[in-house]
Amino acid sequence: MQIMGKDIQVIVTQGVLADYPEGDPLYATGMEALEKHKCDMLVFEEHDGKFQVRSAGYLLVKVPELDEESKFYMKDATPPKQRIWLKVDDYGAHYVATFLYPGEY
């Protein structure tokens, strides 16, 4: 996957990996959410039994704009057991997307 012509390297913290082993659908759902809403911080959480994605950072566009309002649901996805962040950092030539629990920040 690419955003604005840059590749994305995905990292998963040990805490998230312990609950969601490699290959878990959470990661594909997370990257699908990032494709839908290109933001440097997405929050994945359960809301009314659904998998809610909430933006909590800056849009990954040429002129970054703060977006802490957007929310949408991932259809046919199992919501996470607890809140998970997907933090995207710009390393110049590429992005690094990290799945982590808030307590691991």
> Exposed/middle/buried for 59, CB within 10 Å: 0-12, 13-18, 19+?
middle
- Arithmetic mean of pLDDT, 82-100: 96
Question: How large is the average pLDDT for residues 85-94?
Answer: 96
For 45, the token pair is 């959480």
| Model pLDDT, residue 76 | 85
Q: Which residues contact 73 (CB under 8 A, 6 or more apart)?
A: 47, 50, 51, 52, 53
**How high is the pLDDT of residue 64?**
86
Q: How many CB atoms lie within 10 A of CB 13?
A: 16
Enumerate domains of the chain plus CATH numbers: 2-104 (3.10.450)
Question: Which helix (H) or strand (E) covers residue 53, if one does?
Answer: strand 50-55
pLDDT tens digits, 57-73? 999 988 889 999 999 99
Instruction: Please name which of 76, 96, 100, 99 lies closest in space to residue 88, comparing C-alpha atoms.
Output: 96
At residue 104, the pLDDT reads: 94
CB atoms within 10 A of CB 16: 23
- Output the pLDDT for position 1: 83
- Residue 53 pLDDT > 90: yes
Q: What is the pLDDT of residue 43?
A: 97
Check residue 103 and give its pLDDT: 95
Averaged pLDDT of the chain: 93
